[in-house]
Amino acid sequence: MDVERPYPPMLRRPPYPASLQTRKEIEKHINELLDMDVIRKIGHNKIVEITTPVLITWHDGKYRLCGDFRALNNYTKADRYLIPRIPHSLDKLAKAKYITKMDCIKGFQQNGVKPNSMKLLRSICHMGLYEYIRMQFGIKNAPAHFQRMMDTIFQDEILEGWIYYRNHIKNFAHITSSLYKLCSKDLVFEITKERRDAYDRIKHELTNAPMLILPDFELPFKLYKDAECNQGLGAALHQRQIVDGEPREGVICQISRQLKDSEARYGATQTECLCLVWALEKLHYYL
């Protein structure tokens, strides 16, 4: 953790006021972190350069212990380590025979903290003063540090990610345009036949959409576009690959979006040109 010197002024804050129930939750989490060697208790007589109050936030129906590291982050030099984009990571799975997914429980806390940085990661609560000896959520460079660790350990052996299902569905934006309008604050929420049909079609497409294939960058790509005046833009990237000894054309990804208000006034030729330019820009890393 590289902090600009001189260190920021001491921030000796008292613990945030907490209810009895919140204090019980804090005690539970503090004891768990002590058992896992994520934190350690220190004496109040030690020099405290930054003290961060302990916070409890609600997350997915469960409590989660966090620290208020905003002051520290303001003085921390940004780590510009490259964090890969999920679509690019998924593309590297092409021709893989086996794919394994692994998950680190509380991944950031799998990383150690250098001794000279521990004094910057101190939290205070009604139970006393504690010092993090493992990386914690909310620290500015925690994502970069975690990514560097993963790259060092696994290098090219492991890739993880998730698939966004709209890429499976042709003309997704066009199909769901009537549903997205319900997100407008000025529109009365009303389920019409058009919206019900759109919802049912999405369910059908999700269960019948073609299985996506991974790209082979040594083979040519095929780009199909579809533009609907006053509706939306759509495009699909295909590739012909050898599957089970036979050439087959498969779908790599499908993209779509609704037209902006100004674009909805375009003529057919302008809309088709817009669709082509948009698709080429959106899929440039393939083409």
Start-end of CATH 3.10.20.370 domains in the chain:
165-282
pTM > 0.75: yes or no: no
Q: Dihedral through CA 205, CA 237, CA 158, CA 163, nearest 10?
A: -20
Tokens of 269: 């030729």
How do residues 122-180 score in pLDDT, each as one tens digit? Answer: 888 888 888 888 888 888 888 888 888 877 776 544 333 323 456 667 677 777 777 76
The residues with which 234 forms a beta bridge, in sequence order, are 226, 256
Residue 245's pLDDT band, with cuts at 50, 70 and 90, is confident
Start-end of CATH 3.10.10.10 domains in the chain:
20-154
Which is it for strands 232-243 and 222-228: parallel, antiparallel or unpaired? antiparallel
How do residues 1-18 score in pLDDT, each as one tens digit? Answer: 555 555 555 556 677 777
User: Residue 51 — φ and ψ, nearest 5°?
Assistant: -115, 125
Domain range 165-282, its CATH number among 1.10.3720.10, 3.40.640.10, 3.10.20.370, 1.20.1250.20: 3.10.20.370
The helices-and-strands tally (H runs, E runs) of the chain is: 8, 8
CATH architecture for segment(s) 20-154: Roll (3.10)
